[in-house]
Structure 1
Amino acid sequence: MTLTPLDYNPPTEPWLTVIHEDRDMIVVNKPGGLLSVPGRTPELLDSVLSRVRAIHPGAQAVHRLDLGTSGVLVVATRRKAEATLRGQFQDRLTRKVYLARVTGVLAEDSGQVDLPLICDWPNRPRQMVCHDTGKPALTDYFVLERAEESTLVLLRPHTGRSHQLRVHMASLGHPIIGDNLYGDARQGDRLHLHASQLGLHHPYSGEWVVFHAPCDFAPHVPPVTLEPPASPSET
């Protein structure tokens, strides 16, 4: 489904939830329903990036979360920091933890989904599994809670493909609640996918830092320990 101005009604309260801020970057808890970066038309200007630029005019995006996904989002506020941060995401030198509530009851307590993904071009922005031309995509999942008709899972992506977590969970027969592309949006008031934690090396000091954003649909889940990757191949 392509987003149109008529579909876009981003939340405005709170305007910007800041988790961390220094001279190199600002870390926010993005709400579901707000774009990470501006869209192509003026009606889609409102986004995390445009709101940050009201405070830091030179701010630049270094990664994104889907419109419906909430959670930790980092924005660079200096050009030098932008290059360093962007490089970490491209080289898989970050660590990410997501929480998701999926439909149905997962039988296994944990597992791994290893399915290559590529854009389903006639139906973009949908992605699809393709073993011939898809790019490698790997996700670990861990069951945290089982309910009668849903399961709360912790997800750790090793790669950062577009819609990776959404497609991978749907491939197990358990799409994320509220997913309008790979499941049934009527099952929830929003996409139940939250970027809970993000670990990276600070662009100035090089120190390993981990940011956490509490999850509105699973506020009781504590953060986990995130160790820095020794090399890109381990992420």
Structure 2
Amino acid sequence: MKLLFQNDDFAIVSKPAGMNFHSEDEAGFVVLASEMLDCKLFPVHRLDKMTSGLVILAKSSEVANAFLQLFESRKIEKYYLAISLRKPKKKMGKIVGDMAKGRRGSWKLMHTKDNPAITRFISVSLNPGEKLFLVKPYTGKTHQIRVAMKSVGSPIAGDERYAAAEDAKKLDRGYLHAYALKFDLNGDSFSFKLPPDEGELFLTKECQGQIMLWDKPEEFFK
């Protein structure tokens, strides 16, 4: 965990892979970040346990409400990096569909579109059998990116819930990373980016080189 930015209103903190967001049997990310900054922090979005990367934490309930309104109106841009060991049905595109609860805490993508999850992605080949994805979710549904990736035939490598056992348990982490954030707050524009710094597959020369080419992720989703 490391602090990337803070002002009087909010902090941007990097969450490690494998850390619970909220406290369960041990202190979670939000509690640990609050202790690190010695102030009460209010989460305005969350990352799954397996997911690493950028998190916005508000420093007051008023600022938290302002961020929640930005999320609800889709005025916060989020970009993720993911690796899959399976070739997608298509190299790029949009995934749209309602999400419904499945068994044992899993979610599934439906054909209906009453209140859909919306996700766009592009992908490139890395080493043989490895695909790197740049993903932009337009909504914030539970497990949205993980389910979307599975729906195109490319479950996230290391995802013990949605990937095949041979693609999950042999790896050192789940390969989903919150890479970049862009938003306006109180008249100021903010942009943050953090390439992954943990995970054997993320740290290969091929992967790092491709991430550098995606230095301005917003340009790929115009």
Q: What TM-score, normalized to structure 1?
A: 0.80
Indicate if the aligned counterparts of 1:210 and 1:226 stay in contact, CA closer than 8 A.
no
Give per-residue Cα distances to partners, 1:23-77, cap 9 Å, x unaligned.
Answer: 11110111101122223xxx23x22210122234321111100000001001001
CA distance in 2, matches of 1:225, 1:112: 16
SS, match of residue 123 in structure 1: coil
Q: Give the Å deviation of 1:108.
A: 3.6
Q: Give the Å deviation of 1:166.
A: 0.7
1:178 is aligned to 2:158: yes
1:87 is aligned to 2:69: yes
One-letter amino acid of the structure 2 residue matched with residue 159 of structure 1: T
CA distance in 1, matches of 2:6, 2:13: 9
5+ residue gaps, structure 1, are: 1-15, 228-233
1:214 is aligned to 2:195: yes
CA distance in 2, matches of 1:219, 1:146: 10
1:167 is aligned to 2:147: yes
1:224 is aligned to 2:207: no
SS, match of residue 51 in structure 1: helix
Q: What TM-score, normalized to structure 2?
A: 0.84
The equivalent position to 2:98 in structure 1, one of 116, 134, 151, is 116
Name the % identity.
Answer: 27
Indicate if the aligned counterparts of 2:88 and 2:153 stay in contact, CA closer than 8 A.
no
Superposition RMSD in Å: 2.1
CA distance in 1, matches of 2:193, 2:72: 21
Q: Give the Å deviation of 1:213.
A: 1.2
5+ residue gaps, structure 2, are: none
CA distance in 2, matches of 1:62, 1:56: 18
The number of residues matched between the two structures is: 205
Give per-residue Cα distances to partners, 1:62-99, cap 9 Å, x unaligned.
Answer: 11000000010010012221111122122221101100
Q: Give the Å deviation of 1:111.
A: 1.5
CA distance in 1, matches of 2:40, 2:147: 34
Indicate if the aligned counterparts of 2:90 and 2:152 stay in contact, CA closer than 8 A.
no
SS, match of residue 66 in structure 2: helix
The equivalent position to 2:175 in structure 1, one of 186, 192, 209, is 192
Q: Give the Å deviation of 1:210.
A: 1.1
Give per-residue Cα distances to partners, 1:111-162, cap 9 Å, x unaligned.
Answer: 1212221222x421x1112335874011111113343112011011111111
Q: Per the alignment, do residues 134 and 30 of structure 1 end up closer, same or farther by CA in structure 2, a change over 3 Å counting? A: farther
Match of 1:231 in 2: none
One-letter amino acid of the structure 2 residue matched with residue 34 of structure 1: M
105-114 or 193-202: bigger deviation: 105-114
SS, match of residue 177 in structure 1: coil
CA distance in 2, matches of 1:132, 1:142: 23
Higher helix fraction: Structure 1 or Structure 2? 2
The equivalent position to 2:78 in structure 1, one of 56, 73, 96, is 96
CA distance in 1, matches of 2:10, 2:38: 10
SS, match of residue 49 in structure 2: coil
1:17 is aligned to 2:2: yes
Match of 2:45 in 1: 63
One-letter amino acid of the structure 1 residue matched with residue 177 of structure 2: H
